Structure 1
Amino acid sequence: MSPRPAMHRSLRLRLLAGSLVWILAAVAIAGFLLADLFSQHVRERVDAELNGHLDQLTALFDIAPDGTATLRMPLSDPRLSRPYAGLYWQVDGGPAGTIGLLRSRSLWDTALAVPGDALADGEVHVHDVPGPDASRLRMMERLIRPAEHPDTAYRLIVALDTRQIDEPVEEFSTLLSIALGVLALGLIAAAVVQVGVGLAPLKRMRAALGAVRDGHARRLEGDYPQEVQPLVDELNTLLAHDEAMVERARTQAGNLAHAVKTPLSILANAARQDSSDLARLVDEQVGDARRQVDYHLARARAAAAVQQAGLKTPLRPVLDGLIRVMSRLHAERNLHIAVADVADTLTCRGDTQDLQEMLGNLLDNACKWAATQVAISAAIHDGQLAVHIDDDGPGLSEAQRSAVLARGVRADEHTPGSGLGLAIAHDLARVYGGDLRLDTAPLGGLRATLQLPAA
């Protein structure tokens, strides 16, 4: 099955993508509408200006006594007096239907090309037509019939260069694009901040869960929004339930061990009071039964502890306590137990009693086989705490290393022990997600490397 795209796996990306799409769409639509409204407004203003010039031209148009068309006075806009100034007027018609019968000085020696549309008396038409100097014009025309010559029609025309429409619209569009771009960036930044602020409680909850996992807290602490608080409450309830289950499992395992050990102790005491072969056999079997109970009790306790969140055990205090015990147990051998490169900050994710069980078995085994010294070191690699216990004893061959990790197998039947120490340490390490490896030590004997998840 192919992995899901990052957007489907990230709530942050979903929210940001949705916000980005709507912001860009809203800004683009707003920009289009505002530019169109401004363009219409400019055209309406131009049409109003043309209509004013056309009304003025109509008011000043007159027929002389000799029947020639004339203007009583020039139009007021000074642009009409400058050649190709962008504003023009023209009068067509008369008895001969002359094109350019009268023209503004701004047209110079050209005449406006007028569409051949039919106009009713007093009717106004608006066109976009070509103009002088390769320009485009917004033209407005009106047909009138003077009272002195009602049979003669005159077409009165005013026109304005469309650059006076296009340039303001283009300038406005440029400024509008810059303004909307800045607005869009601001909205996107606000959306990023809003999403970050909105998801901050989830980040805090993740950190709180990490603190529980690493053993810094037993519950999710802090105030959360009402949308997140029910989830926090459920997680705290689950943590409390798991803790109660672990405690019950430990209590039941302890009760079971006590219930089994009591009759075993009675049998052992009774067997020691008799010197028969049957009594010796019973004493041996009772000893084996006790060791098996201890072994399985340790596994059950470790399996329950793994399910408990927040377990964290410092390494150095456990080692210091075990070294004192081993120094007393093997005092007659004058062993030198050295600790090197074990920082006080090294911790593992596990129960203190289980760590004591594993390290105690490994240290006891090293002390039994060491000639003169035992060396202990520890470090963290890839999230795993590795504790090395070296001795200068005879060591083990490859075949023996695999065999001694099996329950009850001993490298030398003449050496005291049950043969369960290394197996217990190996199985407990596996329960915690770690491992136990046996190699050749730099001292020449056996190196036991205990790996456990670091806290």
Structure 2
Amino acid sequence: MASVTVSTTPQTPPAPEAADPAAGAAEPRDGQTPHTGSLARRMLLIAAGWIVVLLLGGGVALERSLTGQVEQNFDDQLGYLLNTMIAISEVDPIGEVYFIRPIGEPRFLEPNSGMYWQISAEGRQGFESYSLEPSQSLWDRTLTQQGDHIDHEPHFYDNRQFPEEPLRAVERTVILPGSDVRWTFTVAAAREEMDKQIARIRSILVWSFAALGLGLIGMAVLQSYYGLLPLRRIRAAIQRIRTTGTNRVTDPLPLEVQPLVEELNMLLAHSERQAEEARTHAGNLAHALKTPLTVVNNAATAHAPDLAATVIREARTMRRHVDHHLARARAVGRRSVGHARTPVCDSAEAVRRAVERLYPEVRFDIDGSREARVAIERQDLDEILGNLIENAAKYGGGSVFVTIDAEPDPDGCVIWIEDDGMGIPEEERTRIFDRGARLDTGKPGTGLGLAIVRDVAEIYGGSVELNESEDLGGLLVKLRLPRAG
């Protein structure tokens, strides 16, 4: 039963891309794998960045709020004194302003005390100081007022006329009862005490937020160290696997890391199976080749007259074994690459066209689902269907039927290959899968076709079953392969 090779157009391998010196990842040195930085460093940078941004934003907002409150309280005191002055001010019959009672602020009586008041009136020539003496605290000085406008409401501003004593001033323009003159009342106070309070608030905020930021960054460092501890435990477990020969990671780990450990253990189990299959293939191949090599060696040593025939016969035997194990090895290697999605109909049509060139007198019929896909590489599916369809054409009576998705199976795709030949006796249907087993030795073949079909199908989790075809009367091969999700 010779296998059929479906010809495909060879593809030229892509040229290797030129190295880009601007690539982000550095080229790894021998024995090292490339990396993109530290998780702990990334977490710390993100945490530190947010801490700095939030603390700066919160600190600036809090500083504006507290200093604004201090300035508001300071202005409220000045406004209270201004309203008191206006409330106790009256105009005498000759048009002069006087206080009906003292203001009640002793600092107005102390020279250069930092609290000052002044009243100005609008004359015919503009603003000029009124004859009423200003506060004694001004001594021989006069407050410069913003007299280019009229303030019907209290107007607060900073007065810098005394370089050694910055002032905070409030003024208001009113018309007192019994007078038609606009009087401008001004109260000013030194900013020194208020500036000291603001400086103390800012100092407290800076040191408090600096300590809070350092504490939060320290917590982020501790969190990163403790949070990434399971990854270091995984690293230690993998190192133990490499050094001590253990084959699983069994350390108790958090739920977030457990899926990674499970995938790692599955990968280790898969690698073990791969290694075991490789050892089994090597051992089986060595055992299979041992006998033919011994026969050839003995014949050559004894100078047997039929040495050439012996070499040819045993070489064919060795070739059968090599082909069989190579087919299994290729299937195992391709299975480990990933999950394939191969359309069954496309593969069956390609095999039919190849077999038609060998058996043009055979009638082929492919029916069933055209959307069915199986989780098997295209090359392996072509090899399986090629062996089965060629056997049906070779040993059948001239008709081959292929039915795709012939039986309902949610997990697998069942493919029927039927012929109208003599079939295979039920007692021989198990032995026919052995390597080199042939029921009809009159036709060319190696006896490896069904053995390869069974081995490759089982590697992918499928199966092969032989029955009698009810429609054609010949052999019915039920091939079940895993359905692609």
Equivalent AA in structure 2 for residue 153 of structure 1: R
Partner of 1:37: 65
Relative to structure 1, is the Cα distance of residues 250 and 152 closer, same or farther in structure 2, using a 3 angstrom cutoff?
closer
Relative to structure 1, is the Cα distance of residues 7 and 35 closer, same or farther in structure 2, using a 3 angstrom cutoff?
farther
8 Å contact from structure 1 (residues 92, 102) kept in 2: no
Asked if 1:151 is matched to 2:180, the reply is yes
The superposition leaves residues 293-342 of structure 1 with CA deviations (integer Å, 9 ceiling, x where unpaired) of xxxxxxxxxxx9xxxxxxxxxxxxxxxxxxxxxxxxxxxxxxxxxxxxxx
- 1:278 corresponds, among 295, 298, 303, to 303
Equivalent AA in structure 2 for residue 59 of structure 1: A
Partner of 1:188: 217
- 2:154 corresponds, among 124, 144, 149, to 124
**For 2:257 and 2:187, how far apart are their aligned partners in 1?**
71
- 1:173 corresponds, among 193, 202, 225, to 202
Alignment of 1:327-366 (within 5 A): none
8 Å contact from structure 1 (residues 84, 133) kept in 2: no
Which of 191-200 and 43-52 deviates more?
Answer: 191-200
Asked if 1:72 is matched to 2:100, the reply is yes
Q: Secondary structure at the match of 1:225?
A: coil
Q: Secondary structure at the match of 2:160?
A: strand
What is the CA-CA distance between 1:208 and the residue it aligns to?
A: 1.1
Q: Secondary structure at the match of 1:123?
A: coil
8 Å contact from structure 2 (residues 154, 172) kept in 1: yes
Relative to structure 1, is the Cα distance of residues 221 and 95 closer, same or farther in structure 2, using a 3 angstrom cutoff?
same
Relative to structure 1, is the Cα distance of residues 8 and 265 closer, same or farther in structure 2, using a 3 angstrom cutoff?
closer
8 Å contact from structure 2 (residues 79, 154) kept in 1: no
Equivalent AA in structure 2 for residue 186 of structure 1: G
Q: Secondary structure at the match of 1:154?
A: strand
Partner of 1:23: 51
What is the CA-CA distance between 1:251 and the residue it aligns to?
A: 2.8
Relative to structure 1, is the Cα distance of residues 75 and 264 closer, same or farther in structure 2, using a 3 angstrom cutoff?
same
Which of 55-64 and 169-178 deviates more?
Answer: 55-64
Larger relative CO (CA 8 A, sep 6+): 1 or 2? 2
Equivalent AA in structure 2 for residue 23 of structure 1: I
8 Å contact from structure 1 (residues 219, 236) kept in 2: yes
- 1:105 corresponds, among 122, 127, 136, to 136
Equivalent AA in structure 1 for residue 96 of structure 2: T
**For 1:270 and 1:8, how far apart are their aligned partners in 2?**
63
The superposition leaves residues 2-61 of structure 1 with CA deviations (integer Å, 9 ceiling, x where unpaired) of 564899422222221111111111111111111111121112111110111011111222
Q: Secondary structure at the match of 1:192?
A: helix
Structure 2: gaps of 5 or more residues: 1-20, 27-33, 308-328, 330-485
Q: CA RMSD in A?
A: 3.6
**For 2:242 and 2:59, how far apart are their aligned partners in 1?**
52
Equivalent AA in structure 2 for residue 46 of structure 1: F
TM-score, normalization by structure 2 = 0.52
Equivalent AA in structure 2 for residue 103 of structure 1: P
TM-score, normalization by structure 1 = 0.55
**For 1:249 and 1:152, how far apart are their aligned partners in 2?**
113
Q: Secondary structure at the match of 1:211?
A: helix
Q: Secondary structure at the match of 1:134?
A: coil
**For 1:137 and 1:252, how far apart are their aligned partners in 2?**
98
Q: Secondary structure at the match of 2:194?
A: helix
Partner of 1:232: 261
Equivalent AA in structure 2 for residue 81 of structure 1: L
Alignment of 1:283-362 (within 5 A): none
- 2:168 corresponds, among 125, 138, 154, to 138
8 Å contact from structure 1 (residues 57, 75) kept in 2: yes
**For 1:7 and 1:167, how far apart are their aligned partners in 2?**
54
The superposition leaves residues 81-119 of structure 1 with CA deviations (integer Å, 9 ceiling, x where unpaired) of 222221111111277864153311211111100011332
Higher helix share: 1
Structure 1: gaps of 5 or more residues: 283-303, 305-455
Alignment of 1:3-18 (within 5 A): 4=25, 8-18=36-46
**For 2:109 and 2:299, how far apart are their aligned partners in 1?**
137
The superposition leaves residues 169-218 of structure 1 with CA deviations (integer Å, 9 ceiling, x where unpaired) of 11111110000000110111111112222222221111111111113421
Partner of 1:211: 240
8 Å contact from structure 1 (residues 201, 225) kept in 2: yes
Equivalent AA in structure 2 for residue 278 of structure 1: H
Partner of 2:109: 81
Asked if 1:243 is matched to 2:272, the reply is yes
**For 2:133 and 2:116, how far apart are their aligned partners in 1?**
11
Equivalent AA in structure 2 for residue 151 of structure 1: D
Q: Secondary structure at the match of 2:244?
A: coil
Relative to structure 1, is the Cα distance of residues 268 and 116 closer, same or farther in structure 2, using a 3 angstrom cutoff?
closer
8 Å contact from structure 1 (residues 125, 141) kept in 2: yes
